[in-house]
């Protein structure tokens, strides 16, 4: 599949490289054409850089991997407000979090909802913001594969995102509609606060067996 990657930085490269290794053809673009060609070269032979104006037409699915500060500009760069992404699945990986404090930067709503507003007609899925890019691809035992929580309003888009997450060696957990994206983005802030306090966030959430009866009620408090 032609996986369009909007962004040319660390996450873009690690995801593109992992998907290329899984048989996909990454197409990468960004505001700086030199950064886009360098990113494509680092992803491997199956990847190529695209002009922002050609990007949406080439990509079968779009993965947004840019800084929060550049998010709206990046979606505009590829014609999102003009409808270039209408009908496409758009996976938003943005971490709109102040790394020092763990505070979420959007005053209200979420980065993913900003992407949806900036790209009318696109089916936006929030995913892949919580784990470091260096986590991918995961190649360990299946029973300890990372679980990537995702949310979105369109089943087809959730299925596509889940398939791409599977190609990274992880498992997707769909946890609701895009209105829940802020909660997923807050989870990144929570992780950063636990790390800043000197602890492993893996140990800061309960180990809960979802098969146990009534377990959802007990964890919800």
Residues binding ligand NAP (CB under 6 A): 7-12, 30-32, 35, 65-70, 73-74, 93-95, 129, 132-133
CB of 198 to ligand NAP, least distance (A): 21
Return the C-alpha torsion angle 71, 76, 77, 80, nearest 10. Answer: 110
CB of 135 to ligand NAP, least distance (A): 8
Contacts of residue 212, defined as CB under 8 A and 6 or more positions apart, other chains included, come to none
Kindly tell me which of 28 and 209 has the beta carbon lying closer to ligand NAP.
28
Least Å distance between CB 180 and ligand NAP?
18
Nearer to ligand NAP, 70 or 166 (CB): 70
The tokens describing 42, both together, are 């680092």
Task: Output the CA–CA distances (angstroms, integers) from residue 58 to 93, 97, 210, in the order listed.
Answer: 20, 31, 40
Helix (H, G, I), strand (E, B) or coil at 206: coil
Nearest-approach distance from CB 158 to ligand NAP, in angstroms? 19
| Helices marked H in the chain | 10-21, 33-43, 52-58, 71-77, 111-118, 155-166, 181-196, 215-219
Whichever of 14 and 123 has its CB closer to ligand NAP, that residue is 14
Which residue lies nearer to ligand NAP by CB, 74 or 85? 74
Say if residues 9 and 65 touch (Cβ distance below 8 Å): yes
CB atoms < 10 A from the CB of 150, how many?
A: 24
CB of 91 to ligand NAP, least distance (A): 11
Q: Which CB atom, from 42 or from 171, has the smaller least distance to ligand NAP?
A: 42
Question: What minimum distance in Å lies between the beta carbon of 126 and ligand NAP?
Answer: 11
Cβ 88 vs Cβ 116: under 8 Å: no
Which is nearer to ligand NAP, 35 or 171 (by Cβ)?
Answer: 35
Residue 73, both tokens:
């500009």
């Amino acid at each position: 599949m032609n996986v369009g990657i909007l962004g040319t930085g660390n996450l873009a490269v690690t995801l593109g490289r992992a998907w290329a290794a899984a048989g996909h053809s990454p197409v990468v673009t960004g505001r700086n054409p030199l950064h886009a060609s360098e990113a494509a070269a680092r992803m491997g032979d199956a990847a190529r850089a695209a002009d922002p104006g050609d990007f949406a037409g080439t990509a079968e699915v779009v993965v947004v991997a840019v800084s929060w500060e550049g998010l709206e500009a990046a979606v505009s760069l590829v014609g999102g407000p003009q409808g270039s992404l209408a009908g496409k699945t758009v996976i938003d990986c943005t971490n709109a979090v102040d790394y020092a404090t763990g505070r979420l930067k959007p005053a209200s709503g979420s980065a993913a909802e900003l992407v949806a507003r900036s790209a009318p007609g696109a089916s936006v899925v929030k995913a892949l913001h919580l784990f470091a890019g260096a986590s991918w691809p995961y190649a360990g035992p299946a029973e300890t594969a990372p679980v990537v929580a995702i949310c979105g309003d369109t089943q087809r888009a959730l299925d596509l995102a889940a398939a791409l997450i599977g190609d990274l060696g992880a498992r997707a957990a769909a946890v609701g509609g895009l209105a829940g994206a802020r909660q997923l983005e807050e989870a990144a802030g929570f992780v950063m606060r636990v790390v800043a306090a000197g602890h492993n966030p893996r140990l800061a959430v309960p180990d809960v067996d979802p098969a146990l009866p009534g377990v959802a009620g007990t964890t919800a408090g």
